[in-house]
Structure 1
């Protein structure tokens, strides 16, 4: 009896666990893209990317941007899918450039300085998920000048591959020419053999059969 009661009570718990699992899989996700660390020159303007996605939809999606975890840059709220967000910007060099059409809540940071070097946290909360929070971090490194990428190894590899391909093409052309001349030489040899055979037959009287068939002269 105790075992049966345990089974009866465990079924609802299992159902709740499954539903929570579905919500976690299909719930809200925020991302700062595949490249979440970017170097930018002092004085330039940088796009700080953040996108969101939710398979269960959104309602009153709340989002914020913070610098180094403490300085609030902006905050906004998206009432529902397809409706542009209401945004409050709290930094004079920050511009909100996101749109619900592309599920984008990105910002632009104008005229960056070395003080802007650090982490930018994109935070979002979807009430449909009953209080779950989501965040992603974008790291900005401000530099005096962009570092040049050393392409020496790449250049060597490309040069070697180009040389190998070039040699292969030359070898194929030479092979084709050799085969062509060999075939042409074989044709000439065959013609010579045919002509030689015809001459031999003529000398042996095979082609002068009429002279052999003449009758005996009349007396």
Structure 2
């Protein structure tokens, strides 16, 4: 009969903590090297019908690019339509061969500062919508990324009436200033009154001492008479 008390406990094949740390570091390095497409801090623009606008886009990669493929696409009623496309062999090459698939579109990036922006000439209301700037970098094993820019076409630029917000802000500011002034005046008044009260107390104590001396009250200097000697 086998003695179960001498059996080795079953050990789970858990990875060493160092392995997890190395994996996390490699993942962080890979993330920082990844291709990124950017349309700027403000990813939308409101433009007047008939005007010319630029749709900004730039790329970045910590390890550089090689044969970077990029394109612009327009979302027309849920269908992605290609606007333009090209391949950038390296970062120091000026892009000149760009395929354009849409009227009134001009590529203006020229790869200056990793720029792949485009111009839209004489925009119409049909040009309004979402444009996607897409990039794929073979140097990063085909890593790709995209950014979306929203173009809003209007009849005229709306002028925002700031009269009411200005009045409200002025009223609130004035009320706050009034409250602060009242509190300051109140604290100053209380401070002056406390000082006057302390001064009055000192004056009363001084006057009380003087009255005791003049009236010859026991314990004052007027009672300090020598005791007559007995014969």
Pairwise TM-score range, normalised by the shorter structure:
0.5 to 0.7
Q: 1:50 aligns with which of 57, 60, 68?
A: 57
Work out whether 1:96 is the aligned partner of 2:79: no
Q: Decide whether the 8 Å contact of 2:95 with 2:110 is kept in 1.
A: no
**What does 1:110-149 align with in structure 2 at a 5 Å threshold?**
110-149=121-160
**TM-score for the superposition, normalised by structure 2:** 0.61
Residues 145-175 of structure 1 deviation map (CA, whole Å, 9 limit, x = unaligned): 1234576885576356425522430232122
Displacement of 1:60 in angstroms is 2.0
RMSD: 4.0
SS class of match (1:120): strand
Work out whether 1:64 is the aligned partner of 2:71: yes
Given the superposition, is the C-alpha separation of residues 196 and 132 from structure 1 closer, same or farther in structure 2, using an over 3 Å criterion?
closer
CA distance in 1, matches of 2:63, 2:34: 6
**TM-score for the superposition, normalised by structure 1:** 0.64
Q: Decide whether the 8 Å contact of 1:44 with 1:110 is kept in 2.
A: yes
Displacement of 1:131 in angstroms is 4.0
CA distance in 2, matches of 1:161, 1:189: 42
Higher helix share: 1
SS class of match (1:87): coil
CA distance in 1, matches of 2:181, 2:170: 16
Q: Decide whether the 8 Å contact of 1:87 with 1:96 is kept in 2.
A: no
Displacement of 1:98 in angstroms is 6.0
Displacement of 1:113 in angstroms is 3.1
CA distance in 2, matches of 1:162, 1:55: 48
Given the superposition, is the C-alpha separation of residues 143 and 170 from structure 1 closer, same or farther in structure 2, using an over 3 Å criterion?
same
Work out whether 1:38 is the aligned partner of 2:45: yes
Aligned to 2:96: 87
Residues 187-206 of structure 1 deviation map (CA, whole Å, 9 limit, x = unaligned): 33134214412431441355
Residues 46-75 of structure 1 deviation map (CA, whole Å, 9 limit, x = unaligned): 231223233443212122234454353463
CA distance in 2, matches of 1:187, 1:122: 77
CA distance in 1, matches of 2:214, 2:110: 101
**What does 1:1-219 align with in structure 2 at a 5 Å threshold?**
25=31, 26-68=33-75, 69-70=80-81, 72-73=83-84, 75-80=86-91, 83-88=92-97, 90=100, 94-97=106-109, 99=111, 101=113, 103-149=114-160, 158-159=169-170, 161-205=172-216
Structure 1 spans left out of the alignment, 5+ residues: 1-6, 8-17, 214-219
